[in-house]
Amino acid sequence: MRAEGWVTEELELEGWPVTVTSYRIASSFLTEVESGCSGSILARGIGSTREESRREAFETASRRLLHSRFSDLTVGG
């Protein structure tokens, strides 16, 4: 099986920069939401349509980002 139909976009979610990647493997669509700051995966969604997988991933990522704090880690200032 190969991943097909890759779509990657950079968005802002709950005030945080994120990278959203979605693709299809066999008959399932997968969506990953990554933190734009650290590159870590915040959430994954799997569904029978791209929209369903995006909705699942966005709901989980939004919930996690709402509970995150932003700290300015400027050094020497």
> What is the model's pLDDT at position 70?
60
In a domain, 77, yes or no: no
Number of domains in the chain: 1
Whole domain around residue 62: which residue ranges?
3-66
In a domain, 74, yes or no: no
> What is the model's pLDDT at position 38?
80
Burial degree of 2 (CB within 10 A; 0-12, 13-18, 19+):
exposed
Q: Give the tokens for residue 72.
A: 């300015």
In a domain, 19, yes or no: yes
Between residues 28 and 75, which one has the greater pLDDT?
Answer: 28
Q: What number is the average pLDDT over the span 29-50? A: 93
Residue 11: which pLDDT band, with cuts at 50, 70 and 90? Answer: very high
> What is the model's pLDDT at position 66?
87
Distance of CA 17 to the CA centre of its chain: 10
In a domain, 73, yes or no: no
Q: Mean pLDDT of all residues in the chain?
A: 89
Q: Specify the pTM.
A: 0.82
In a domain, 71, yes or no: no
Domain CATH for 48: 3.30.160
